[in-house]
């Protein structure tokens, strides 16, 4: 599972439809969203996570499309329970 996690840092306004290449299909669960209301943020993000698509991207066979919150860090990893 090394290399399957994805981290996105974005230090300007939010961005919808941001595509990231991932090495395998499945559901990618959000482990951390620094814009969460829990941390005092606006709670913009991807809920519990996002499913992958069979769209090659960034040299990977699959990809996910996420909403990147403003001034935030998002940490995602494959969720084996939802494969």
Q: Residue 66 sits in a domain of what CATH number?
A: 2.60.40.1180
Residue 76 lies in a domain: yes
| Residue-range definition of the domain harbouring residue 16 | 6-82
The model's confidence at residue 71, banded by pLDDT at 50, 70 and 90, is very high
Residue 75 lies in a domain: yes
**Model pLDDT, residue 5:** 83
**Count of the separate structural domains present in the chain:** 1
| R_g (Cα) of the chain, nearest Å | 12
Over range 48-72, report the average pLDDT. Answer: 96
Residue 1 lies in a domain: no
Side-chain-side CA neighbours of 74 within 13 Å: the count stands at: 27
Residue 11 lies in a domain: yes
The model's confidence at residue 26, banded by pLDDT at 50, 70 and 90, is very high
Over range 60-83, report the average pLDDT. Answer: 92
Q: Distance between CA 28 and CA 49 in Å, rounded?
A: 5
Does the reported pTM lie above 0.85? yes
């Amino acid at each position: 599972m090394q290399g399957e996690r994805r981290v996105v840092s974005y230090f300007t306004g939010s961005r919808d439809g941001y595509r990231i290449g991932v090495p395998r299909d499945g559901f990618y669960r959000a482990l951390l969203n620094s814009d969460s209301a829990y941390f005092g943020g606006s709670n913009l993000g991807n809920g519990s996570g996002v499913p992958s698509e069979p769209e090659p991207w960034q040299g990977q066979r699959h990809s996910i499309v996420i909403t990147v919150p403003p001034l935030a860090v998002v940490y995602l990893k494959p969720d084996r329970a939802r494969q």
